[in-house]
Structure 1
């Protein structure tokens, strides 16, 4: 344990988290694409010289929990100050190809070498591949999903390596937007170096000591929290609704063992890697587990490597959650990660039912619409019902689980893209009944005003989000093109004037419906939440 005094530690902890947050603000304000500047589909964090997370902004869980593997991959290439490395390869530290990660070594104290790393990860609306938006529903190998960056120097001696930038831009459909968003990420890294330099100027090498101290503090707090969970092994099972190639259910099995202050999460029994694109890199599986652990423990524990040290994750090689190249993976990051959170929540609900929520909508409802000519590329995840907890109703129409993005405002969507919003509303009656009711799903209906390609990667279209402790299940979702139902995972070409509708699932209820407060039932009726499905 470091000897940094508690007051100094608390000051520096907040200042380090402030650096990560300011990185994110610079990235969001400087971005060009609505997916980043409006939806805020990006994440930023600081790491120490050993590659351990020290501080992170409150951004996207699936981004943040998987970042350490990206830093590890760059560290293996002996990066130097003045460089920024770019990667998106899921088999070398990435998550899926649209998430482009930048890693820059920081050396704000001159000759003393690298003291840490700034990291940003942003979802780029198109990175090439076989379809606009780079998320083809039927992909069978990663080559169909876009350009791969296996860790390359994007900046050397402070200057962009134009050959690398040009190679990347030559393989995407919206190069102007991509260049602007990459520059916004680089600006965020410049701000991190500046602000970390300010901290070293103010506090000297106490900053290095604080890196160790804040990680030690979080580890100690997390171990105390885990020690309060009853020892034992808890199991759960769920499925994905096909992999985009077949409609066969894809099982996910988990066994969670609590032993004192440690947690072991074992996915042995989960399906082998699949032909479609729902394979999830190990980093994504770990990220989902870490998210659940954070949700079930004290939210005031500083989020850093110390939180995850007491947690181990086991996934067999060649499985759905630890696939081998060249497996397609673009859906694993967004959909399989959601199901992993569901099964781990379900397992731990057996140990701490008062802490675990019912299942939320269990999907990100990925909607991608773009032009093959490269005129535009629209990407969005659509909110739905959150699961109820033991003390409150689930929220209506929100992002749940591994995503934490906003929506694209209708005004922005119509101004930026050849799309028209026909309907955007809650779906009455979709939340599961219970002592506490699950949240409502949404309906979002868009008319495409020019010929385009539409891709949908969704889940919970035939399996309902589960209620717990006697609560009812939430409603399933539905996808339609021109009023006709289409599969949960599909890529189709549509003519100008076609209308795409996404109806998202509701959340599960918590507790017996007979126990619901009569006043709450009257509010449900008055607010139209209990209309028939």
Structure 2
């Protein structure tokens, strides 16, 4: 069987069927999960890989999850997986990203793969979900001042959670004994296992319908995506482009931490070198190389045709390197929990800004550049709340930026006020767009958000945020977006903070606005999209 045996129509049908399997996995996970972080915010991702560990199809979930998933599958392949197994892993130095992101990898061997017993592994189902607590020194497992990974939670190399179709209760009990909310974790793990089981069931159905033609489609769709991405890269101007930006301290020191990218476009390939980036830091903004790769892959996806099927072929023409022992390729026992959520955002920003030299008409101004991580929890294990809060999207060459959205490496929803107040001892005081927070320009940056809530019990509050000192920059003469702010009972606190608070404390997060695009004096009625709460549009008033 060869790829050429599949005509374009059949290939498109099979591709969509494979993607539907990944999407259905996600639906099973979201509907079966217990924690609001997964069932409401949808901080999870699902995907299908082939037997060689290549990404074949994914659901449209979280960019920082999906781009780093191949490392988890590669780590599992080294453990000689067998049909009926499911591996659990969260170790950032063995296939994970940061400890709260717990990944399940299941070999897929449906009976139809070999005509009977189901002994041939034809692929892997992967589900990754952010668990609201995995132990460590603070509730939520995202301590602002962590200096080593042991302080961030339970570290799991690839280990069999399910062996031969039976749950390994010793492994499960060990995991649950080291978290603050074991009942919630048990239910969320069960939902992930159900998602992976659904993948095997659906892949078996497809094999029954298509036989070996389905397996041929694995190779064909990967080859197709690679050809499409290589064609798009070849259209970009060859050259070397560079940019530098900074992280605002690492949770231990307030000193700026440089992130430098050199992007080389050479024909149909793109190489990103982070040699100028800082060495690994004492705090938790270190990011595994898989996270840096994921951010680069995201930028490439943004600059190429969004209709190209997302799979291994999209990333094959892209190379990413960072020196060992650096911020983007740290060595154990580096703390990394902030690297996944904040450093990944800055990597995205610097790669986009570097490519703005090459294709200024195809990239936006900087968005908020942070996930605005807010964690509130009880040391007694009563609850753990985790949220990433949207902000301003950067203005684009042809239109304004979007208001109050997730930007860059995250793609979650918010936790609805009703769900938040029902599930946690929290009361939302204000949730609104920030007037005048978008940068001025021919096209204006999107608005940031204000989210303010009162904690109705004694708790620990952790904040991991950025763009509190360096504002999101505009492009082509556009102004910067507004800086973000963190406040506790009205008093401003640092970008990275963990504090104990008493009942009645109010926590407020003001998220950054997006940068503007173009000279503000060139703004005309034609460049205005709709009425805006910042008063920047007067049509119809």
1:423 aligns to what SS in structure 2?
strand
- Decide which of 363, 368, 376 is 1:361's aligned counterpart: 368
User: Using a 3 Å threshold, how does the CA distance of structure 1 residues 527 and 431 change in structure 2: closer, same or farther?
Assistant: closer
Match of 1:41 in 2: 43
- Unaligned runs of 5+ residues in structure 2 are none
Once residues 442 and 28 of structure 2 are traced to their aligned partners in structure 1, the CA distance between those partners, rounded to angstroms, is 43
- 1:174 paired residue number: 181
The 1:158/1:401 distance shift into structure 2, 3 A limit, reads: same
Equivalents in 2 of 1:296, 1:130: separation in Å? 40
1:272 pairs with 272, 276, 279, which one? 279
User: After superposition, where does 1:7-406 map in structure 2 within 5 Å?
Assistant: 7-108=9-110, 109=113, 110-111=117-118, 113-406=120-413
What is the CA–CA distance in structure 2 between the aligned matches of 1:203 and 1:424, rounded to whole Å?
50
Change (3 A) 1:11 1:486: same
Q: Is the 8 A contact 2:399 2:527 kept in 1?
A: no
Is 2:473 the partner of 1:466? yes
CA distance in structure 2 between the partners assigned to 1:250 and 1:440 by the alignment: 26
Q: Contact (CA 8 Å) 2:400, 2:528: kept in 1 or not?
A: no
Shift of 1:528: 3.4
Q: Are 1:263 and 1:311, in contact at CA under 8 Å, matched by a contact in 2?
A: yes
Alpha-carbon distance change, 248 to 203 in structure 1, aligned in 2, over 3 angstroms: same
Aligned counterparts of 1:181 and 1:19: Cα–Cα separation in 2: 20
Report the equivalent of 1:435.
442
Matching of residue 495 in structure 1 with residue 496 in structure 2:
no
Give the drift of 1:159. 1.5
Distance, in Å, in 2 between the alignment partners of 1:216 and 1:521 is: 42
Q: Can you list the C-alpha shifts for 1:316-373, whole angstroms capped at 9, x where unaligned?
A: 0000000000000000000000000000000001101111111000000000000000
Structure-2 separation of matches of 1:214 and 1:241: 41
Contact persistence 1:80–1:105 (CA under 8 A): yes
CA contact (8 A) 1:43 1:64 kept: yes
Match of residue 449 from structure 1: 456
Decide whether the 8 Å contact of 2:53 with 2:124 is kept in 1: yes
Q: Which ranges of structure 1 fall in alignment gaps of 5 or more residues?
A: none
Going from structure 1 to structure 2, the CA distance change for 1:37 and 1:321 (only over 3 Å counts) comes to same
Counterpart of 1:2 in structure 2 is: 3
Would you say the 8 A contact 2:242–2:354 is kept in 1?
A: yes
Contact 1:69 1:94 in 2 (8 A): yes
CA contact (8 A) 1:102 1:120 kept: yes
Q: Are the equivalent residues in 2 in contact too, given 1:428–1:529 (CA < 8 A)?
A: no
> Separation in 2 of the partners of 1:57 and 1:288?
17
Distance 2:224 2:128 in 1: 26
**1:518 offset after TM fit, Å?**
3.2
Q: Is the 8 A contact 1:349 1:356 kept in 2?
A: yes
Aligned length: 531
Instruction: Determine if the alignment matches structure 1 residue 479 to structure 2 residue 486.
Output: yes
TM normalised by structure 2 equals 0.97
Aligned residues of 2:368 and 2:391 also touching (Cα < 8 A): yes
- In 1: Cα distance, 2:89 partner to 2:324 partner: 22
In structure 2, distance between residues paired with 1:530 and 1:316: 48
Cα distance in structure 1, aligned partners of 2:193 and 2:234 = 41
Determine if contact 2:460/2:498 at 8 Å carries over to the other structure. Answer: yes
In structure 2, how many angstroms separate the alpha carbons of the residues matched to 1:121 and 1:475?
A: 33
Q: CA RMSD in A?
A: 1.3
Comparing 511-520 and 407-416, the one that deviates more? 511-520
In 1, Cα distance between equivalents of 2:42 and 2:528: 35
Residue 150 of structure 1 aligns to a residue in which SS?
coil
Q: Tell me, what secondary structure is at the counterpart of 2:514?
A: coil
Structure 1, residues 501-531: CA drift from partner, whole Å, max 9, x if none?
0000000111111111236569556763589
